[in-house]
Amino acid sequence: MNSLEILPELISADQSVPRLGVLASGSGSNLEAIARAIENGQLSAKIALIIYNEPEAAVRQRAERFDIPAILINHRDYKSRQALDREIIKQLKAHKVDLVIMAGWMRIVTQVLIEAFPERILNIHPSLLPSFKGIHAIAQAFDYGVKITGCTVHLLSLEVDSGKILKQAAVPIFPEDTLEVLQKRIQVQEHLIYPQAIAEYLKERSAKGLGAQT
């Protein structure tokens, strides 16, 4: 299936704009970038729900600041990844989510979630995929000695950090860089390209004849 093929499921329940469901495990800085892009009119969407899996994750406080509903689904309470994903699906469906946005979600998803939202799950990864997959991507690029790394927005697939690439930003690595400095420079680009990628993704689907209206 072409990643931009029209899918009848992508219809917002509020009949106006697509509803986003954000999955996050950490600080939620990408969530804030997306929320601010919506506030500024750069992205026509609504964040309907945030799901987080770490009880102390700072993303909860960011959700409160933007008055976005947030639900804790602690992965430790589930016997399998599939069971966790089924609960996530239950909440996403209950909040009538159209598009799932992974913003630092540190859990490997299963086919259960992918099949529930086919071609409708976006992820951001801190490298220029297909190079440096996995959770230590920035450190791998730094240690390997490459001169350029970056970040990638892509459609989620079952294989970790794979799927159709939607947008990338290159970030140079300078001789004087530390790992922390490089991480911050990549994060700046993440905050720029993730809202842009979501907007472009929705615009192209709309141009194919699928919008928020039934």
Active site residues per annotation: 125
CB 154 within 8 A of CB 125: yes
- Which residues, in sequence order, are bridge partners of residue 170? 150
Residues 38, 42, 47: CA angle, nearest 5 degrees: 20
Amino acid present at 134: G
Question: What interhelical angle do 179-207 and 29-39 show, nearest 10?
Answer: 40
Cis peptide before 126 (omega within 30 of 0): no
- Residue 15 Ramachandran class (φ > 0 left, ψ -120 to 50 alpha, else beta): left
